[in-house]
């Protein structure tokens, strides 16, 4: 069956080959629960919360642990993307597939991220989390957001396109700009594919380098629990939990909206693609707890790419879709931007017309992507969006400063999950894997992770 939602039959041997799980693994001894990365990170998060609550000063001092782990992962991400994309594209026999995959991915990204923006707008209007606060904008300190207002400027389409092109090749790697590195990698992959037999030695070199890079990633992931401990301890120690007061309503609403988005929207997409969203979430549970611990979706990118390949997606497709999605498919950030913009307006008693809300929506479709790679990207993007609608006091963003760290956890989670689902959907769209094999691979890989 050739339809996107079809359930084609698959040979058992094909399942075994695509899942990369040896037959003897079924009889292997199950490893103890405390040896799994997910358990270690969850335990670290729990201990960090307790430390942050009872000994906040000591907890805040542990911030370098979280920063160090994120920096370690960020250090290797550009190499992971470059090696994966180059070897994937150069290894594709059909160069038309590269353009086709890229086009389908961008179409999917724009559609789903637009839905996410609309959901944030609808929830904000229906629930009105900022209503009744009656905050006087004149009493807010605009200096509190001065550091974010600097880089926050609305980008035109031409500015965004020019940003993709780095000043030099080394500049893209030095800055760690994912989109620029991806651009260079695609060009290099195309060039290497046209070199024929002359390029084979270089392709073999990059293939070996890819294995070495993922070996480094596996080493770094051993320190994930330490990084999660430091990051969570700082967050709780610095901002507290009970001290958040009425802002807990906004946090709760945002988390609930994100959960519903994953279960309903992404769940429906997954169902149409032939797999269950909860099975998929269980498959990437280690990446989920890492993101929760360090509040960064980039920290899970290398291992997520590896898992998507083990699931049956081709290396070239994974290398194109996942890194691109980290810029163009930020579903969690999209929900946050429209919901938070309405919250600030409601809290400061700023009435917004339908046209003004649509303006926020239209601008957010660009700013949610244009601020990629900037520290505190979602917050910066939101400031840039609010500057387009002068009616809303930008100083009102100071209300969100204290809770942004908590909001960023949900943003990062939805961004990461959304891009994982997108990769599988595009792979199904390209008929790289059928629905039955995909479900069997999810079950088989999940069993292998427990052994």
Of residues 114 and 132, more confidence is placed in 114
- CA neighbor of 125 nearest in space, from 415, 351, 438, 394: 351
Of residues 22 and 445, more confidence is placed in 445
The pair of three-digit structure tokens given for residue 99, joined into one six-digit string: 């353009």
Contact indicator for 442, 281 with CB cutoff of 8 Å = no
Contact indicator for 152, 384 with CB cutoff of 8 Å = yes
Least confident of 86-100, 114-128, 185-199, 255-269: 86-100
Quote the DSSP letter at residue 156: P
Least confident of 110-114, 143-147, 300-304: 143-147
CB count in 10 Å sphere of residue 74? 15
The structural domains of the chain, ordered by start, are 31-449 (1.10.3860.10)
Contact indicator for 123, 339 with CB cutoff of 8 Å = yes
The pair of three-digit structure tokens given for residue 155, joined into one six-digit string: 């980008």
Q: What is the separation of C-alpha 249 from the centre of its chain, rounded to a whole number of angstroms?
A: 24
- CA neighbor of 307 nearest in space, from 296, 322, 297, 292: 322
Residue 43 CA to residue 423 CA, distance in Å, equals 30
Task: Place 263 in a pLDDT band, splitting at 50, 70 and 90.
Answer: very high
Q: At what angle do helices 285-294 and 301-311 cross, to 10 degrees?
A: 170
> CA-based Rg of the chain, rounded to a whole angstrom?
22
Contact indicator for 69, 223 with CB cutoff of 8 Å = yes
Direct distance between the N- and C-terminal alpha carbons of the chain, in angstroms, rounded to an integer = 34
Task: Place 49 in a pLDDT band, splitting at 50, 70 and 90.
Answer: confident
Residue 438 CA to residue 334 CA, distance in Å, equals 29
pLDDT, mean over the chain: 78
pLDDT tens sequence across 405-440:
778 888 889 999 999 999 999 999 988 888 888 888
pLDDT of residue 138: 63
Contact indicator for 109, 328 with CB cutoff of 8 Å = yes
Contact indicator for 348, 137 with CB cutoff of 8 Å = yes
* pLDDT above 50 for 8: no
The label of the residue with tokens 């330490």 reads: 226
Q: At what angle do helices 224-239 and 404-429 cross, to 10 degrees?
A: 140
* pLDDT above 50 for 313: yes
Contact indicator for 415, 113 with CB cutoff of 8 Å = no
pLDDT of residue 235: 73
pLDDT tens sequence across 93-119:
666 777 788 889 889 998 999 999 999
The label of the residue with tokens 């038309």 reads: 96
Least confident of 45-49, 72-76, 411-415: 72-76
Least confident of 90-94, 175-179, 289-293, 403-407: 90-94
Task: Place 268 in a pLDDT band, splitting at 50, 70 and 90.
Answer: very high
pLDDT of residue 94: 62
Alpha-carbon separation of residue 98 from 309, 313, 323 (angstroms): 17, 14, 14
pLDDT of residue 118: 94
Residue 412 CA to residue 294 CA, distance in Å, equals 10
pLDDT tens sequence across 343-377:
888 888 888 888 888 888 887 876 676 444 444 56
Q: Across 124-138, 225-239, 281-295, 361-375, which has the greatest mean pLDDT?
A: 281-295
- CA neighbor of 309 nearest in space, from 106, 83, 104, 93: 83
pLDDT of residue 423: 93
Indicate the pTM of the whole model.
0.71
Alpha-carbon separation of residue 232 from 45, 49, 185, 221, 288 (angstroms): 6, 7, 34, 17, 14
pLDDT tens sequence across 217-242:
888 888 888 888 888 788 778 767 65
Alpha-carbon separation of residue 399 from 208, 394, 449 (angstroms): 50, 10, 43
Of residues 359 and 196, more confidence is placed in 359
Quote the DSSP letter at residue 237: H
């Amino acid at each position: 069956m050739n339809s996107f939602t079809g359930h084609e039959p698959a040979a058992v041997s094909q399942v075994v080959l695509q899942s990369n799980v040896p037959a003897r693994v079924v009889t292997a001894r199950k490893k103890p629960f405390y040896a799994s990365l997910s358990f270690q990170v969850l335990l670290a998060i729990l201990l960090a919360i307790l430390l942050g609550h009872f000994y906040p000063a000591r907890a805040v001092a542990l911030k370098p642990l979280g920063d160090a782990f994120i920096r370690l992962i960020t250090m290797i991400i550009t190499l992971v993307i470059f090696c994966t994309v180059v070897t994937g594209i150069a290894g594709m026999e059909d160069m038309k597939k590269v353009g086709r995959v890229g086009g389908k991915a961008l179409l999917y990204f724009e559609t789903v991220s637009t839905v996410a923006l609309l959901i944030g707008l609808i929830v904000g209007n229906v629930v009105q989390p900022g209503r009744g606060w009656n905050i006087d904008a004149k009493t807010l300190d605009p200096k509190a957001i001065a550091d974010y207002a600097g880089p926050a400027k609305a980008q035109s389409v031409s500015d965004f396109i020019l940003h993709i092109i780095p000043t030099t090749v080394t500049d893209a790697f030095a800055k760690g700009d994912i989109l620029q590195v991806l651009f260079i990698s695609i060009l290099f992959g195309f060039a290497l594919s046209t070199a024929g037999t002359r390029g084979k030695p270089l392709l073999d070199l990059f293939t070996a380098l890819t294995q070495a890079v993922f070996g480094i990633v596996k080493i770094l992931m051993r320190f994930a629990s330490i990084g999660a401990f430091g990051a969570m301890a700082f967050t709780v120690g610095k901002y507290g939990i009970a001290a958040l007061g009425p802002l807990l309503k906004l946090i709760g609403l945002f988390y609930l909206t994100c959960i519903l988005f994953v279960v309903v929207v992404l769940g429906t997409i997954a169902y149409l693609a032939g797999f269950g969203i909860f099975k998929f979430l269980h498959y990437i549970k280690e990446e989920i707890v890492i993101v929760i611990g360090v509040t960064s979706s980039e920290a899970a990118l290398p291992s997520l790419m590896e898992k998507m390949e083990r699931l049956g997606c081709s290396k070239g497709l994974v290398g194109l879709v996942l890194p691109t999605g980290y810029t163009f498919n930020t579903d969690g950030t999209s929900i946050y931007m429209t919901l938070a913009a309405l919250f600030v307006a409601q809290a400061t008693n700023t009435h917004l017309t339908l046209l003004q809300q649509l303006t926020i929506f239209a601008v957010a479709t660009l700013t949610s992507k244009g601020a990629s790679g900037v520290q505190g990207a979602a917050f910066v993007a939101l400031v840039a969006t609010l500057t387009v609608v002068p009616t809303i006091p930008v100083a009102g963003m100071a209300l969100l400063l204290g809770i942004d760290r908590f909001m960023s956890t949900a943003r990062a989670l939805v961004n990461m999950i959304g891009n994982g689902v997108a990769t599988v959907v595009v792979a199904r769209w390209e008929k790289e894997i059928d629905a039955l094999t995909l479900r069997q691979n999810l079950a088989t890989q999940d069993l292998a992770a427990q052994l």
